[in-house]
Amino acid sequence: MNSVQQPIGRGAGEHVRARPITAKLDAVIAVDAEGAVLEWSAASEELFGTPRSVALGLDLIELIIPAELREGVRESLLDEGRSAEETLGQRLETRARRADSSEFQVELTIVRAPAGDAGPTIFARDVSHRAEIELNRAHLALVVAGTQDAVLSKNLDGIVTSWNPAAEELYGYTAEEAVGRHVSFLTPPELRHDVDKILAAVRRGEVLDTYETRRVRKDGAVIDVALTISPIATTGGALSGASVIARDITAERRRRQAREFLIAATRDLDASLDPVETARNIVDKAVPQLAEVCIIDFIRDDGLIGDSVAASTIPEAAARLEEIRREAPLSQDGDHPVAQVLRNGDPMIWRDLKEPGVNDSVAQTAEHQALIDDAGYESAAVVGLVARGRKIGALSFLHAKGNLRYEEVELEFLGELGDRAALALDNARLYQERDAIARNLQLGLRPPRPARVPGLDSAVIFEAAGRGIEIGGDLYDVLPTDDGCWVLVGDVAGKGSAAAGVSVAVRHAVRGLTREVDEPEEVLGRVNELLLEGTGLHDFATAVLVRLRRVGGGEWTLTAASAGHPPPVHVRKGGARLLGGGTVLGALHDAKVQRHDANFAAGDTLLFCTDGWLEAGPLTEHRDPLELARLAEYLAPLAIEEMLARLRGDAVTRAGGTLRDDIVLLALRRV
């Protein structure tokens, strides 16, 4: 029978006296011993839809109870075998029927026990709403139990009062372990204030939607969660606690941080052209966002794994780790996680480094074991560094002293970061190789010092502003001859190895041509043809070539050919003269070369420069050739070494201490 029986206190019957049919809060019905209706209140008419005139004399059970429930209800309400005391207060909840055949849930309570031939008096009350509440409650309980979100409830003091299966899965505690405990057992020590903040909001009746924070699992792992917290009120409206829906957002949050990190890190990975500086930049970027310890291990030329670069939030851990790798490099055949990843080629995660056997494969030496213990290694992720088909090494991330664990979902991101880091490292390697090539080429651009020429004093200053592929194409040379010398100063368009190569070609072409051709303008004309035949798009150069020659009677002559280069200054007793003009070489078939002829008397000075000196510093600080001529004339009384040092100082001062272009200053003086 679909009914609920429950006794009530006998005091309920004492409030019903001679006229039950006048009660307005409940339907009141009186029946005889056989169950026929003797009295039928107005509330009964309204509740069951049957007029009093119709109901009187009818069997109550047949009148209001569905057929399938009548036998059980009759036995409960009209059992003649029970005494009056046993009958009084009998309460029965069952389905009832109205006159229109609709059904509802009713509660029937005997409020006056049968006496003699008289039957009981019964209160009838519609409790459909209560049944609906119970149904909703049961349904909600099923929903809560079946949802994939962790759901718990707590009272206003923070004591856990309910705990669904998803909460067990999320936090690792069973309901028996969680219910009755203060909710702070889920909170990391550094977030204890978090519980007080949430409880205060609950007591104010506030709803916290998607409140992001951290919680601790039973296994000690710290996870990121999004909480939705809603106050729970009693039927009277008083606050009694709160429901908490928790969703694990660890993977989601780490993916979000990963995207942000990749954007920021990628921007800076190529900040240096030095492989070691690049490696240090990478590990520094990863700490502390991705790890408490981050290390790059390189595959050395001898096949071992070492030359490591590390960063850490833990004092001295990085330096200790780098030293350990120097003293005990890893073997690629070993069990260390780095060796395993390099052999297998796939990124790997060691979620708990404290598991039996795992620590043995990680610790290299007793000193390394001490570092692991001091740092509190907990979890590791290792990705290989491969660029352009070449294995470079491995990038390792370690969580320490934070109860954090790397998860499988993070491998994709860490692998992508490893790919970008590997490319940056390989680029740095290529830059370094090109740097070496360019520097070797630089040795061909200019001699370390001008060749000695009898009768001439010479000095040079070369200030290299760039490095590697930024090296410029400034060149100079002094070529002694039997009767004097040739002097070449030039500048090739562009920077790097290409510019250096063109500069070398120009210098050696001039060296060869001056053995065959006696006129400087003809030599430069031949160089122009050489550059026009080149395959480069920017094989342009400026140059000035001077022939200094001894003639009869101990006199010297000067013949200069200028092709678009900053003009050299000829300082003599009558003042300073500029020897410029001409057009750039390599641009036009009929390049213009400007020729100058003069005597080069005792005490005369010939000063050359490249545009790096004229254009040092901001535009407002640039100097023109006339200013150089005035300075040269003013400084001419000084030794030429001091003269060049003063001119260099002028350029450095204008540049704010850092030159952005190469400078060549070359001076020759007749003695």
Question: So what's the pLDDT on residue 13?
Answer: 38
pLDDT digits (tens, 9 = 90+) for 507-534: 889 999 999 999 999 999 999 998 888 7
The predicted model gives 150-175 an average pLDDT of 92
Phi and psi angles of residue 174, each rounded to the nearest 5 degrees, phi first: -75, 165
Q: How far apart, in whole angstroms, are the C-alpha atoms of residue 75 and residue 85?
A: 16
- For the structural domain made of 255-434, what CATH number should be given? 3.30.450.40
Question: So what's the pLDDT on residue 171?
Answer: 94
Output 322 or 250, whichever has higher pLDDT: 322
Question: So what's the pLDDT on residue 145?
Answer: 52
Question: So what's the pLDDT on residue 233?
Answer: 82
Question: So what's the pLDDT on residue 583?
Answer: 95
- The pair of structure tokens assigned to 588 is 């036009």
Question: So what's the pLDDT on residue 16?
Answer: 38
Q: Which CATH class is domain 147-248?
A: alpha beta
Same fold, 3-129 and 255-434: yes
Q: Which CATH class is domain 3-129?
A: alpha beta
Q: Are residues 27 and 41 in contact, defined by beta-carbon separation less than 8 angstroms? A: yes
The partner residues of 122 in beta bridges, in order of sequence, read 29, 110
Q: What is the mean pLDDT of the chain?
A: 85
- Report in angstroms the alpha-carbon separations of 312 from 289, 295, 347, 376, 406: 11, 9, 21, 12, 17
Say yes or no to pLDDT of 560 above 90: yes
The single residue listed with the structure tokens 């917290």 is: 229
- The pair of structure tokens assigned to 47 is 């509740």
- The pair of structure tokens assigned to 212 is 């992001």
Q: How far apart, in whole angstroms, are the C-alpha atoms of residue 316 and residue 329?
A: 19
Say yes or no to pLDDT of 337 above 90: yes
Say yes or no to pLDDT of 4 above 60: no
Q: How far apart, in whole angstroms, are the C-alpha atoms of residue 271 and residue 354?
A: 37
Q: Are residues 332 and 343 in contact, defined by beta-carbon separation less than 8 angstroms? A: yes
Question: So what's the pLDDT on residue 439?
Answer: 60
pLDDT digits (tens, 9 = 90+) for 386-441: 998 899 999 999 999 777 888 887 888 888 888 888 988 888 888 777 666 656 65
Say yes or no to pLDDT of 170 above 50: yes
Q: How far apart, in whole angstroms, are the C-alpha atoms of residue 530 and residue 508?
A: 12
Q: Are residues 272 and 468 in contact, defined by beta-carbon separation less than 8 angstroms? A: no
Question: So what's the pLDDT on residue 252?
Answer: 81
Reported confidence tier of residue 465, pLDDT bands at 50, 70, 90: low
Say yes or no to pLDDT of 8 above 50: no
Q: How far apart, in whole angstroms, are the C-alpha atoms of residue 161 and residue 9?
A: 31
pLDDT digits (tens, 9 = 90+) for 200-221: 998 888 999 889 999 999 988 8
Question: So what's the pLDDT on residue 209?
Answer: 86
Output 218 or 22, whichever has higher pLDDT: 218
Question: So what's the pLDDT on residue 435?
Answer: 65
pLDDT digits (tens, 9 = 90+) for 428-446: 888 777 666 656 655 555 6
pTM for this prediction: 0.47
Start-to-end CA span in the chain (Å)? 132
The predicted model gives 185-196 an average pLDDT of 90
The single residue listed with the structure tokens 């205060």 is: 200
Q: How far apart, in whole angstroms, are the C-alpha atoms of residue 665 and residue 49?
A: 117
What homologous superfamily does CATH list for 446-670?
PPM-type phosphatase domain (3.60.40.10)
Q: What is the dihedral of CA 503, 506, 508, 512, to 10 degrees?
A: -170
Say yes or no to pLDDT of 478 above 70: yes
Question: So what's the pLDDT on residue 471?
Answer: 56
SS3 (DSSP) at 504 = helix
Question: So what's the pLDDT on residue 66?
Answer: 93
The predicted model gives 369-387 an average pLDDT of 92
Question: So what's the pLDDT on residue 537?
Answer: 52
Reported confidence tier of residue 15, pLDDT bands at 50, 70, 90: very low
% the chain with pLDDT above 90:
52
Output 197 or 116, whichever has higher pLDDT: 197
Output 268 or 490, whichever has higher pLDDT: 490
Domain boundaries, the chain: 3-129, 147-248, 255-434, 446-670
Output 148 or 32, whichever has higher pLDDT: 32
pLDDT digits (tens, 9 = 90+) for 572-622: 998 999 999 999 999 888 889 999 999 999 999 999 999 999 999 999 999
Q: How far apart, in whole angstroms, are the C-alpha atoms of residue 588 and residue 124?
A: 115
Say yes or no to pLDDT of 117 above 80: no
Question: So what's the pLDDT on residue 5?
Answer: 45
Question: So what's the pLDDT on residue 290?
Answer: 87
Largest Cα–Cα distance of the chain, in whole Å? 167
Question: So what's the pLDDT on residue 405?
Answer: 84
% the chain with pLDDT above 70:
85
Question: So what's the pLDDT on residue 216?
Answer: 92
Question: So what's the pLDDT on residue 2?
Answer: 47
